[in-house]
Chain A
Amino acid sequence: MLQFILKRLGLAILVAITVSFISFSLLFLSGDPAAALAGETASGEDIEALRRLYGFDRPMLVQYFDWLASALRGDFGESYYFKLPVAGLIFDRLEVTMLLGVCGISFALLVAVPLGVAAAMRPNSIIDRLALFMSVAGQALPSFWFGLILIVVFAIKLGWLPPSGTTSWQNFVMPTIVLGYYAMPAIMRLTRAGMLEVLNSDYIRTARAKGASEVRVMFKHALRNAIIPVVSLAAVQMGFMLGGSIVVESIFALHGAGYLAWESIARNDLPTVQALILIFSMFYIVFTFLADVLNAWLDPRMRSS
């Protein structure tokens, strides 16, 4: 197990280095950074001065290692737009995004996994059909529309929840539902499919032949084997929620990192974009690594391969 973890960790680090290089090179892919910084009316001399000031005249690899070394110390440079350190800017926003992501994925898992198990226990029953309906609806409803409907009903008509802001936990209820609802269908269907397959396997019959109760058969013997692909999927969706919750963040005016990324792209604020891409990628890598470790714990066959 330890050997497996170390191997995965090594791989994760390699991926992280590659990603960091790619996100650094984005700066140069979008044209001359000094010219972009100086603006349209700047003279050639101004651009040259800026180039020297920000060190764009040095070889690219030197700039990369310089940037990486600062990034590792938590220094991502200064935002071109806010004229503030990028790190502080992001970490304020990241708190909101992380909270939203964790709540969203938890909500999705808590609803989708039991529903998937229930649907697999009785295929074609009312529960199965209801679950299918919910997943089709979840897949089809655009989150901006679903979010607005929730605001209209629960914030405006009923007045139960605040429509926007980040002042209390109540602000996070509707965004969590919208974000989680988006991730639910895939998790639910995958749980159901996995359970149906596992329930037909010989070792489930063995468990029943031992006199294990249905609950024990379902949760101890079947779910552990069926949940493995769900873990991988949930990790990817969690990563996606952090970076891709822009729509939800803007509907509910939660100024999180997703929203910041969108704004920074529009403003050509390259250090911020770079740092955000790096951080989101790192989250992806960490979640995938954690999912691999969790899966290896669930399925011993993975440890040896």
Chain B
Amino acid sequence: MTKPLLSVQNLTIDIPVGGGTLHAVRGIDFTLDRGEVLCIVGESGSGKSLTSLALMGLLGKRISCTADQMDFDGTALLEASPRKMRSLRGARMSMIFQEPMTSLNPAYTIGDQLMEAMLLHENVPRSKARARAIDLLEKVGITAAASRLGQYPHQLSGGLRQRVMIAMALMCGPELIIADEPTTALDVTIQAQILRLLVDLVREMNMAMILITHDLGVVARVADKVAVMYAGQLVETGPARDVFSQPLHPYTRGLLHCIPQPGKTARGEPLGTIPGIVPSLVGEVEGCVFRTRCEHAVPACHAAIPRRERGDHAFRCVHEDGHAPDDTRAKEATDA
């Protein structure tokens, strides 16, 4: 069996804050093969973006990041020298950010910024980088690509800028793309277009992608694998089909219950909500972090939580099937 492109074990990110340590990411594991799309789902502040920045080596110096393993194609990312990391970033792994409006440098043309990564990493003449930039701009659906190269970011709309960001991430033909909520800041009509485009390109170029989102509709359409993140932990991971058809963790079920599903959600029926708020992650956190909002909570939730596996599908819960044994009402509600 070939080794996965990316494998992460026990990734932990701590941020020093006034009066303690914020345990933002607490021991997460996942792997990703070439050509696979992994969606990391979770609400704001669950540590999704920090995880992606950790992979890119872009966490600031103040943030401490440890892992038993964080390998990208045989390179241990945490031990790699800054120079080694620079040679990976933008070349073999690249990132698309959430904010297209502010993620481009206002002082340089689109062309300069597109060509930069290629000129930095590959020993190619400008003319070749320029040809590649035009080629990619056309690929991401920008018309009059050659004339766009001389334009500045402020002359483009948000949707166009995000297309430019995607083209920029693809310049060196990376093996891994990390897209951190790439469509959140865009109009709903543009969101679907951009996402479709991104996924098509990833499939076409056989790249691996980590797509970070809080939109389960997006996940259902594009993911091979899903990782549900809650308060710094992956509470459930598995093939997208399994997670959607058989959500095991109470949080995943709660999330799925929050979105309308064609044919399942009756007209006029109120959508579900998850009561309560995400607990503070400052200081030591023990047991299941979701227990304060969980309708299946039992005293045992305060103790260490086992990781349960059913083939590729894994979750963390005290209950064997994610349900409290005596809570038949809740079971019926989710089975219905």
B88 contacts A211, C-beta separation under 8 Å: yes
Among B97-105, B136-144, B319-327, the stretch that binds chain A is B97-105
Among A48-56, A100-108, A294-302, the stretch that binds chain B is A294-302
**Which among B90, B104, B105 has the greatest number of chain A C-beta atoms within 10 A?**
B105
A208 interface contact, C-beta 8 A = yes
Residue of A nearest to B88 (CB): A211
Q: Provide the bound-state CA to CA distance between A206 and B167, in Å.
A: 13
Q: Provide the bound-state CA to CA distance between A221 and B104, in Å.
A: 10
Known: A210-B94, A211-B121. Is A201-B107 also a contact (CB below 8 A)?
A: no
Q: B120's contact among A211, A298, A301, by CB below 8 Å, is which?
A: A211
Q: Provide the bound-state CA to CA distance between A225 and B116, in Å.
A: 18
Q: Mark A200-212, 1 if CB is under 8 A from B, else 0.
A: 0111011111111
Q: Provide the bound-state CA to CA distance between A301 and B156, in Å.
A: 12
Nearest-neighbour CB distance to chain B for A131, whole angstroms, equals 20
B168 contacts A210, C-beta separation under 8 Å: yes
Q: Provide the bound-state CA to CA distance between A207 and B89, in Å.
A: 10
Q: Provide the bound-state CA to CA distance between A225 and B154, in Å.
A: 14
Q: B58's contact among A205, A216, A224, A304, by CB below 8 Å, is which?
A: A205
B117 interface contact, C-beta 8 A = yes
Across-interface contacts of B116 in A (CB, < 8 A): 207, 210, 212
Q: Mark A224-257, 1 if CB is under 8 A from B, else 0.
A: 1100000000000000000000000000000000
Across-interface contacts of B165 in A (CB, < 8 A): 206
A211 contacts B106, C-beta separation under 8 Å: no
Residue of B nearest to A122 (CB): B61
Across-interface contacts of B168 in A (CB, < 8 A): 206, 210
A299 contacts B106, C-beta separation under 8 Å: yes
Q: Provide the bound-state CA to CA distance between A203 and B105, in Å.
A: 5
**Which among B58, B90, B168 has the greatest number of chain A C-beta atoms within 10 A?**
B90
B120 contacts A210, C-beta separation under 8 Å: yes
B102 contacts A209, C-beta separation under 8 Å: no
B152 interface contact, C-beta 8 A = yes
A213 interface contact, C-beta 8 A = yes
Q: Which residues, 138 to 176 on A, are CB-close (under 8 Å) to B?
A: none
Q: Provide the bound-state CA to CA distance between A206 and B178, in Å.
A: 12
Q: A299's contact among B86, B103, B107, by CB below 8 Å, is which?
A: B107
**Which among A201, A206, A300 has the greatest number of chain B C-beta atoms within 10 A?**
A206
B117 contacts A211, C-beta separation under 8 Å: yes
Q: Provide the bound-state CA to CA distance between A221 and B154, in Å.
A: 16
Q: Mark B188-212, 1 if CB is under 8 A from A, else 0.
A: 0000000000000000000000000
Residue of A nearest to B99 (CB): A202
Q: B103's contact among A202, A212, A213, A300, by CB below 8 Å, is which?
A: A202
B104 contacts A211, C-beta separation under 8 Å: no
Q: Provide the bound-state CA to CA distance between A12 and B290, in Å.
A: 65
Q: Provide the bound-state CA to CA distance between A20 and B197, in Å.
A: 62
B280 interface contact, C-beta 8 A = no
Q: Provide the bound-state CA to CA distance between A216 and B120, in Å.
A: 10
Known: A203-B104, A205-B103, A300-B154. Is A211-B86 also a contact (CB below 8 A)?
A: yes
Q: Provide the bound-state CA to CA distance between A300 and B99, in Å.
A: 20
B contact residues, total (Cβ < 8 Å): 27
Q: Provide the bound-state CA to CA distance between A216 and B121, in Å.
A: 14
B107 contacts A208, C-beta separation under 8 Å: no
Nearest-neighbour CB distance to chain A for B105, whole angstroms, equals 4
**Which among B87, B103, B165 has the greatest number of chain A C-beta atoms within 10 A?**
B103
Across-interface contacts of A211 in B (CB, < 8 A): 86-91, 117, 120-121
Known: A207-B105, A224-B107. Is A212-B120 also a contact (CB below 8 A)?
A: yes
Q: Provide the bound-state CA to CA distance between A304 and B99, in Å.
A: 23
Nearest-neighbour CB distance to chain A for B158, whole angstroms, equals 13
Across-interface contacts of A213 in B (CB, < 8 A): 86
Residue of B nearest to A223 (CB): B107
B56 interface contact, C-beta 8 A = yes
Q: Provide the bound-state CA to CA distance between A208 and B91, in Å.
A: 12
Across-interface contacts of A299 in B (CB, < 8 A): 106-107
B86 contacts A221, C-beta separation under 8 Å: no
Across-interface contacts of B152 in A (CB, < 8 A): 300-301
Across-interface contacts of B176 in A (CB, < 8 A): none
Across-interface contacts of A298 in B (CB, < 8 A): 107
B94 contacts A300, C-beta separation under 8 Å: no
Q: Provide the bound-state CA to CA distance between A227 and B157, in Å.
A: 26
Nearest-neighbour CB distance to chain B for A248, whole angstroms, equals 36
A225 contacts B106, C-beta separation under 8 Å: yes
B86 contacts A206, C-beta separation under 8 Å: no
Q: Provide the bound-state CA to CA distance between A97 and B88, in Å.
A: 54
A221 contacts B117, C-beta separation under 8 Å: no
Q: Mark B100-140, 1 if CB is under 8 A from A, else 0.
A: 00111111000000001100110000000000000000000
Q: Mark A276-289, 1 if CB is under 8 A from B, else 0.
A: 00000000000000
Nearest-neighbour CB distance to chain A for B178, whole angstroms, equals 9
B106 contacts A209, C-beta separation under 8 Å: no
B95 interface contact, C-beta 8 A = yes
Q: Provide the bound-state CA to CA distance between A242 and B106, in Å.
A: 34
Residue of A nearest to B118 (CB): A210
Residue of A nearest to B53 (CB): A205
Residues of B within 8 A of A (CB): 56, 58, 86-91, 94-95, 97, 99, 102-107, 116-117, 120-121, 152, 154-155, 165, 168
Q: Can you show 6 pairs from A to B with CB atoms below 8 A apart?
A: A203-B102, A207-B116, A209-B89, A211-B89, A211-B120, A221-B105
Residues of A within 8 A of B (CB): 201-203, 205-213, 216, 221, 224-225, 298-301, 304
7 A-B pairs with least C-beta separation: A211-B90, A210-B90, A211-B89, A202-B102, A203-B105, A210-B117, A300-B152
